[in-house]
Amino acid sequence: MKKRYFTLVLALAFAAMLVLSACGGTSSGGGTSSGGGTTPAPAPAPAPAPAPAAPGESFEFNLQSHDSPTGSTAAFLDEFAEAVNRDSDGRITIHNFHGGSLGPGTESYNMVVNGTVDFAWGLPAQTPGLFPNTEVISLPFMGVQEQRQGAYAFWELYDTTDFLKSEWENVHMILLFSDCDAPLTSNKKINAAADIRGMNLRVNGGPPTEWATLAGANPMTIPIGEVYTSLERGVVDGVTSTGWNVVDSFRLYEQGKFFLDYHIHINPYFVIMNKDSYNKLPDDLKAVIDKYSGLGALDNIMGDKWTDVKTGVFKTINDLGKEIYSLPDAEQAILNEYGVQAREKWMANIDSLGTDADALVSKTIELIAKNKGK
């Protein structure tokens, strides 16, 4: 009995100690006054102010272009880089390398895919077989009269339909667009469709090559940097698939004497970005890239650059006493018919690859007509 009573007393004493402790009878932060009371615990120190946010990470990218550093393409790409730098508050810097200084145009697409460069401008025609549907805009005599018309139609075809997207799934698309229509530059005047027969004619691959073959020419694929000397040395008798902007930037007006203005076709071009380079950007910087992609590039940067160049080169040619001319309607109709035949052959191949070629061509013509006078 005494043992149980003693245990109870100890338990009560221990409980009293716990109560006193909980009521603040002792405190690690307070001291005992001279009167035996306690001083209140000091207020907790305020939390330190958060450190200023570190400046956002910056990114430097390279852009490959094989075109002349003095042409409309270079002006467009330089303004694109400047706009991205400005709107990113300097956090994105794009270094443009023109004139193929990082590699030939034939490698531009692959350089982006494998990460050798972050951006590239180039021609789908320089990587044959990779972009069969994209070639649709280069079919001869599709009705494009001005650069802006073709550029807006081409981007709308990519952006609003599924005809082209799968061909570009390995890159981040910045822009698909077209240049000026291409004259036939030569040192002899073409008075009739038959005059093209037997000519060594520089022409791009794909549908334009098929058209040249049907017209009786000997099509030749020559890098743009060698076209000037090829005309000078007589390696070729004529040059086409070179838009008026190319006639200007590569000074082909110095070698050619006659310029057949017949709107044969336009060239498709791309501006693309490596997927990893795009995906590593934070969302706010992705938004800057997006702002100057697609319609943002066409509306805010491209403007009338190519149209102005075409006007300027017309004046240069006339000032040099050289001739810009057109064919009589009957002769032009013959060349147009070769274009129809080239289109039909191309469409048969596209059908065999699993695309509804008739739907693709019809939609393209619809968009070209829609964007007339853009």
Enumerate the domain spans of the chain. Answer: 59-184+263-370
CB atoms within 10 A of CB 364: 23
Instruction: Mark 240-253 as b/e (b = at least 16 C-beta within 10 Å).
Output: bbbbbbbbbbbebb
Residue 250: name the closest of 13, 64, 5, 71 by CA. 71
- Residue 205: what pLDDT? 87
- Residue 96: what pLDDT? 98
> How many angstroms separate the CA atoms of 237 and 255, rounded?
11
Residue 246 · residue 306 · CB < 8 Å = no
Q: Which positions ≥6 away from 229 have C-beta within 8 Å?
A: 235
DSSP secondary structure code for residue 38 in this structure: B
> How many angstroms separate the CA atoms of 330 and 286, rounded?
52
Long-range CB contacts (within 8 A, 24+) of 360-365: 360/133, 360/136, 360/163, 361/136, 361/139, 363/157, 363/161, 363/163, 364/136, 364/137, 364/139, 364/142, 364/153, 364/157, 365/142, 365/143
- Residue 48: what pLDDT? 55
In the numeric block, which tokens belong to residue 76?
Answer: 């467009």
In the numeric block, which tokens belong to residue 325?
Answer: 């001319």
- Residue 56: what pLDDT? 81
Q: With H, G, I as helix, E, B as strand and everything else as coil, classify residue 51.
A: coil
Residue 280: name the closest of 108, 17, 65, 58 by CA. 58
Residue 265 · residue 241 · CB < 8 Å = yes
Long-range CB contacts (within 8 A, 24+) of 282-287: 282/56, 282/57, 284/56, 285/56, 285/59, 285/88, 285/91, 285/92
Q: CA 79, 64, 138, 214: dihedral to nearest 10 degrees?
A: 140
Numbers of helices and strands, H then E, in the chain: 13, 11
> How many angstroms separate the CA atoms of 277 and 62, rounded?
10
The amino acid sitting at 199 is M
- Residue 139: what pLDDT? 96
CB atoms within 10 A of CB 28: 5
Q: Which positions ≥6 away from 237 have C-beta within 8 Å?
A: 186, 187, 188, 199, 200, 201
Domain 59-184+263-370 superfamily per CATH: Bacterial extracellular solute-binding protein, family 7 (3.40.190.170)
> How many angstroms separate the CA atoms of 77 and 63, rounded?
9
- Residue 46: what pLDDT? 55
Question: pLDDT truncated to tens, each residue of the chain (374 aa)?
Answer: 433 333 333 333 433 333 333 333 333 333 333 333 434 445 555 555 443 334 589 999 999 999 999 888 999 999 999 999 999 999 999 999 999 999 999 999 999 999 999 999 999 999 989 999 999 999 999 999 899 999 999 999 999 999 999 999 999 999 999 988 999 999 999 999 999 999 999 999 889 999 999 999 999 999 888 999 999 999 999 999 999 999 999 999 999 999 999 999 999 999 999 999 999 999 999 999 999 999 999 999 998 898 899 999 999 999 999 999 999 999 999 999 999 999 999 999 999 999 999 999 999 999 999 999 98
DSSP codes joined into one string, 61-82: EEEE--S-TTSHHHHHHHHHHH
- Residue 260: what pLDDT? 98
